[in-house]
Structure 1
């Protein structure tokens, strides 16, 4: 086993060029630019972009360029914008990525006093495609129609000099034709207007106890936007409640014989007993690669989150979170159906502070591998860990024969320290509760901006299979769907904050049309909104 401090940066460098597909938002201040004077005009442009990208592109109107700037580079909830030269001149170099300029018909000798820009951090593949679409708008009949309607001669690369615009002079008017008999006028091409999301009244509030549930991401660019997926009503899953006083800790157990760590489970009398293969109700196993297995939590069981394990030449490495004693016992039993090799290491993806009755009851002979933030969270609990712990800073790489396991410390996101587990040979990624499939998830300890950045990173890894914290083994499409839900939720909360709404008013008037059928909506959406409101207000509304 060797420690690596650079897996996150190494993977970013290797995979940053992979295309990412997600909903795009175009921000506009209608009274501060010479191109788009209304939401209707902005809709013509964004609908054209959407048709060329095969992606949803929405418009968001802002009252000031300063607010739009915050949504671009601070919140990262707007991807494209048009900003005036005067505002851009007041910002440090490199604050935005310049995409395109434009030339108005009434001023063909000079470019406009504003620029179409993109936020920093947008995928390079997407930047290049957007710029190409904008610069070639005049080559298509639909694009020319839109430019004519906006009184634009051409969209051009940023920074052109006046002498480079000479070829853009409008052609001379053709001689008047002979009068023709009257004919029916040709109906102009109508581009559908973008529909801004309207906040509807939310369903009757449901104050259920916090539970761990999981969510969904967006789909790769398809010919048409996918219909929302209907899922079964959420099952109540009990999230462990904080323990007010320490339970009695079992006496230190005798270490098992060499090679027996996996199968020996402590019993109530302090002795060890061999786990019976197959007799467990918490997990369904699915082999996702050679020697790599997903343990998907079953409805109504003791497991509230998915887990995984990988079988090496000499021993097994497993991982997960929210590990109650019963969940640990059942995972050990599930592993026993696959191999007799011992469990040597358990990768604890994260820990929720205040929950001392989970993540502590592992079999003797099993070492925990955790991020330093997770170690600190557990060290502050009222219980003490009686297992050896290996904790790491940025990342850690394990080798199990020909298999590589790359651990990346994502820092703050779902909790104070979340760990990704990546198997590069097979392209399998275990995200734990950073990604939920078709669920609103549990965000009670979440950090919204950091979580959104983590989702962008996860999407760019280009994994072939995802083992999420909740839901079935999935593809990158589900990461995108969950990221879309996450962005929509955070955007809605920010709108309430910018209007000056109180937390109570936000909870009463908040609505997310299209997500009401997600698992856990009734139990967790108010809790998630509360956390998002507090986190965003503390970090961005000062």
Structure 2
């Protein structure tokens, strides 16, 4: 490798924020690191996104304990990525919930994804020795399910492919707040390496149709108020389209992955270079966009070996 992945050199501890996005609803954010959500019901608590390790999960639990002593009964995982799911054991929840498709992806590529992400992002896996193994759900759903935390209703739905094939969103109707996972980001690059560029825009439209009052996104700050929600949805759309279209043009002309990389950089750098994890995501985003533009609809599995081969190719 000519140089390390950008994420391998990102060893700076991030500042944690904990914002209330609705009554009894909280967003745990950390300057572009993976976010988690907290939903406090009458008798218990639901966590959205587990973090990468039990060590990081305990940071979420510390924040939860600042606002409630109710037990954590449910963990909802919006998709299968290691940085989202491998800390689940720390919560001691009765139920771990994923979509059927997300569970199938744990089976298909969970270990490979863990190995790949561990190589790419060492800081997020500090304390990895405490991970007991791959995280599997206790409960799955196909299109939607509803959980009642006492009287508080929580709707968990698959409303389209975007960041992965099995993305889930979590909507709390009494406050009209949504936890979107990595379908929506704010001032953070979207990781598109396992994504569906052709579907992402429609899935964003499906989120817009809820007309929510706040969103806890996958990365970036809490989005409180309809203006903030609209801005983040549209900036996410711009990011996805600005990544795919240049790669598509290169692919249609029979160009190379390196040419696609240069074309995407020319389009995206002026708009998004200051976004969190931009350099980390870019090579994987370009590779996936180039694949999809050439008719590879189902994302290929990333492995620690494939990561390095792709990176060497992009470095020339």
TM-score normalised to structure 2 length: 0.74
> Does the aligned pair in 1 maintain the 2:31–2:276 contact within 8 Å?
no
Corresponding residue of 2:286: 529
Corresponding residue of 1:478: 232
Corresponding residue of 1:434: 183
Structure 2 residue matching 1:361: 3-state secondary structure? helix
Alpha-carbon distance in structure 2 between the residues aligned to 1:492 and 1:289: 39
Alpha-carbon distance in structure 1 between the residues aligned to 2:198 and 2:136: 34
Alpha-carbon distance in structure 2 between the residues aligned to 1:450 and 1:325: 33
Alpha-carbon distance in structure 1 between the residues aligned to 2:11 and 2:288: 20
Q: Pick the structure with greater CA Rg.
A: 1
TM-score normalised to structure 1 length: 0.45
Are 2:248 and 1:494 equivalent residues in the alignment?
yes
Question: Where do 5+ consecutive residues of structure 1 fail to align?
Answer: 1-204, 212-234, 239-280
Give, in angstroms, the shift of residue 437 of structure 1. Answer: 0.8
Are 2:171 and 1:443 equivalent residues in the alignment?
no
Corresponding residue of 2:10: 236
Alpha-carbon distance in structure 2 between the residues aligned to 1:519 and 1:530: 19
Alpha-carbon distance in structure 2 between the residues aligned to 1:327 and 1:346: 15
Corresponding residue of 1:330: 59
Are 2:60 and 1:286 equivalent residues in the alignment?
no
Corresponding residue of 2:274: 517
Question: Where do 5+ consecutive residues of structure 2 fail to align?
Answer: 112-131, 224-228, 298-316
Corresponding residue of 1:48: none
Q: How many pairs were matched up?
A: 267
Q: 1:476 to 1:401 in 2, by over 3 A?
A: farther
Alpha-carbon distance in structure 1 between the residues aligned to 2:253 and 2:75: 46
Give CA-to-partner distance per residue, 1:13-69, whole Å, 9 cap, x none. xxxxxxxxxxxxxxxxxxxxxxxxxxxxxxxxxxxxxxxxxxxxxxxxxxxxxxxxx
Give, in angstroms, the shift of residue 401 of structure 1. Answer: 3.5
Structure 1 residue matching 2:201: 3-state secondary structure? helix
**C-alpha RMSD of the superposition:** 3.0
> Does the aligned pair in 1 maintain the 2:103–2:136 contact within 8 Å?
no
> Does the aligned pair in 2 maintain the 1:347–1:369 contact within 8 Å?
yes
Give, in angstroms, the shift of residue 384 of structure 1. Answer: 5.5
Corresponding residue of 2:312: none
Q: 1:282 to 1:358 in 2, by over 3 A?
A: farther
Structure 2 residue matching 1:306: 3-state secondary structure? strand
Q: 1:401 to 1:237 in 2, by over 3 A?
A: farther
Alpha-carbon distance in structure 1 between the residues aligned to 2:134 and 2:220: 30
Task: Choose between structure 1 and 2: higher helix proportion.
Answer: 2
